[in-house]
């Protein structure tokens, strides 16, 4: 894979992303989950007593909660056994703390990220980079000018030690409590790694912060936690890319994102997720937006055996705004169940949801969304648009939008389209000199443009390439 995203070779195969290294672990917890495992994780991280208490409380709730199984059309979660998942595994680096430069990484870890082009992405336009290999952040770099403004961008383990008051106030309390769902509770018990972002009042972080996550060990669960706190009238964009190699054992990814958008602040959170075909991707992401604040979610989901992901926003303050732009791609044997949830709880709040899904070779995509406009949220508005593109008659795509409108003076719009790639469009492009495969790839590129135009060029190019890799082998 080229290191220069301006000169990527678009003729590779999905196996480019399916490489792995021998796992060298300083600490590896037992498979399965017990109270002893939870205590071991906390002790190995030298955490304060309050964090251990939160882990144990989350573990107790996890034991009592049932698996989610009663949603119509949801992915089948019976294929993996939590008793076979390794909750925590840290790579063998000389220090428990993050290294300061890319060159200081051990050769095998360096090679993993190098092959995915991460150094080039950081050098070109990204203000900082965090790379998570297994469960610990092993590379963090922040430009000096942002540190001078008081911006904090570090791994969650460091944040627990150095910013305990901020973490204690925001970690799985008022945004995503462990009681939210069974996998949120699991996450609260065994979370490890992730990113912590704090932007002071009135500060704009001009370039996106980057965090790259990758799973490498067979049968390992990954439970990174992210907290973003944007103080009043600040602005920040955090972007992450995800990739995992292909294995025979099932893998579980159950991360959590908590975003706090204060008055007049603006946060964009972008993800390009490319999990391997044996991964169960079960995340919980939520934002709370205060008066005149803006939250933007931009996400691309592909790979994985099953994905259940529904970023949620609570529009708490008057004039708060929320935008979701999502794309899902499902191939053979895949069930990608994604969507968005928005809760309008204040007047003059506005939300927009734009969902794009692509399915091929019998894959299934599903948009599952909820918009709730509470009584008293007068003069609020929402617009939901769901478009699905299918390659063949064996593939399926459904939309399940659900709207709860408790206020009369609101503006609500919904539009959904489902269709196959049109023969006329392909014929037209073939008459312009393209072969059939390239014509279909161009149609797909145009279909997903609303998402790619929201991403920095490095990620837009990577997303297009990943989709082309998914399409290779299904068109010829």
DSSP assigned state of 98: P
Query: How many other CB atoms are found less than 10 A from the CB of residue 462?
Result: 24
CA distances for 396 relative to 55, 84, 171, 348, angstroms? 39, 31, 38, 37
What does the pLDDT look like over 105-127, one tens digit per residue?
566 556 655 655 555 544 443 33
**pLDDT tens, position by position, 220-240:** 558 889 999 999 999 999 987
In this prediction, residue 125 carries a pLDDT of: 34
- How many Å apart are CA 161 and CA 180, to the nearest integer? 26
pLDDT of 350 reads 98
**Whole-model pTM over 0.85:** no
Among all chains, which residue has been given the structure tokens 């014509």? 439
**Averaged over 299-305, what is the pLDDT?**
79
- The Cα 238–Cα 259 span in angstroms is 11
Residue 10 contacts residue 465 (beta carbons within 8 Å): yes
Dist CA 28 CA 392 (whole Å): 44
pLDDT, average across residues 180-192? 92
> What average pLDDT does the structure give for the chain?
79
Tell me how far apart the alpha carbons of residues 340 and 464 are, in angstroms, rounded to a whole number: 23
337-391 pLDDT tens trace:
889 999 999 999 999 999 988 888 888 888 889 999 999 999 999 999 988 888 8
d(CA 129, CA 264): 26
- Reported as a single tens digit per residue, the pLDDT across 121-177 is 444 433 345 555 554 554 455 556 688 899 998 889 999 999 999 999 999 999 999
434-464 pLDDT tens trace: 888 888 878 888 888 877 787 776 667 767 7
For 2-50, write each residue's pLDDT tens digit: 333 332 232 344 445 455 566 556 667 676 788 988 998 899 899 999 9
Q: Give the span between the Cα atoms of 50 and 105, in whole angstroms.
A: 32
- The mean pLDDT value for 78-99 works out to 60
Beta strands in 360-410 (DSSP E): 364-373, 381-390, 396-405
């Amino acid at each position: 894979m080229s290191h220069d995203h301006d000169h990527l070779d678009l003729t590779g195969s999905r196996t480019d992303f399916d490489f792995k290294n021998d796992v060298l672990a300083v600490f590896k917890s037992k498979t399965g989950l017990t109270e002893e495992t939870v205590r071991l994780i906390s002790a190995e991280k030298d955490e304060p007593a309050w964090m251990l208490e939160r882990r144990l409380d989350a573990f107790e709730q996890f034991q009592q909660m049932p698996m989610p199984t009663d949603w119509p059309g949801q992915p089948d979660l019976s294929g993996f056994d939590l008793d076979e998942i390794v909750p925590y595994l840290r790579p063998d680096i000389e220090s428990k703390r993050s290294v300061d430069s890319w060159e200081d990484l051990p050769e095998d870890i360096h090679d993993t990220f190098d092959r995915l082009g991460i150094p080039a992405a950081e050098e070109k336009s990204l203000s900082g980079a965090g790379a998570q290999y297994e469960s610990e952040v092993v590379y963090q770099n922040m430009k000096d000018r942002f540190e001078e403004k008081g911006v904090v961008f570090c791994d969650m383990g460091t944040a627990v030690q150095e910013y305990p008051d901020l973490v204690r106030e925001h970690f799985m309390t008022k945004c995503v409590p462990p009681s939210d769902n069974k996998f949120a509770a699991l996450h609260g018990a065994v979370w490890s790694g992730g990113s912590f972002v704090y932007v002071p009042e009135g500060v704009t972080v001009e370039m996106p912060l980057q965090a790259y996550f990758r799973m490498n060990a067979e049968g390992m669960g990954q439970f990174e936690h992210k907290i973003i706190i944007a103080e009043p009238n600040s602005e920040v964009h955090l972007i992450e890319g995800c990739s995992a190699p292909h294995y025979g054992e099932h893998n579980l990814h159950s991360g959590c994102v908590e975003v706090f958008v204060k008055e007049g602040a603006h946060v964009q959170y972008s993800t390009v997720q490319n999990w391997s075909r044996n991964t169960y991707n079960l995340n919980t992401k939520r934002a709370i937006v205060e008066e005149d604040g803006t939250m933007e979610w931009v996400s691309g989901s592909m790979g994985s055996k099953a994905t259940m992901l529904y970023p949620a926003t609570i529009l708490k303050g008057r004039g708060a705004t929320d935008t979701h732009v999502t794309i899902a791609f499902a191939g053979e044997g895949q069930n990608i169940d994604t969507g968005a949830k928005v809760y309008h709880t204040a007047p003059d709040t506005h939300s927009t949801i734009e969902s794009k899904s692509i399915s091929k070779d019998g894959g299934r995509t599903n948009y599952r969304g909820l918009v709730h406009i509470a009584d008293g949220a007068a003069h609020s508005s929402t617009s939901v648009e769901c478009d699905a593109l299918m390659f063949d008659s064996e593939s399926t795509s459904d939309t399940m939008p659900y709207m709860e409108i408790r206020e009369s003076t609101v503006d609500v719009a919904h539009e959904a389209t489902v269709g196959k790639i049109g023969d006329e469009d392909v014929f037209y492009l073939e008459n312009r000199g393209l072969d059939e495969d390239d014509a279909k790839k161009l149609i797909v590129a145009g279909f997903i443009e609303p998402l790619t135009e929201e991403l920095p060029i490095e990620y837009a190019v990577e997303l297009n390439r990943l989709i082309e890799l998914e399409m290779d082998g299904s068109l010829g």
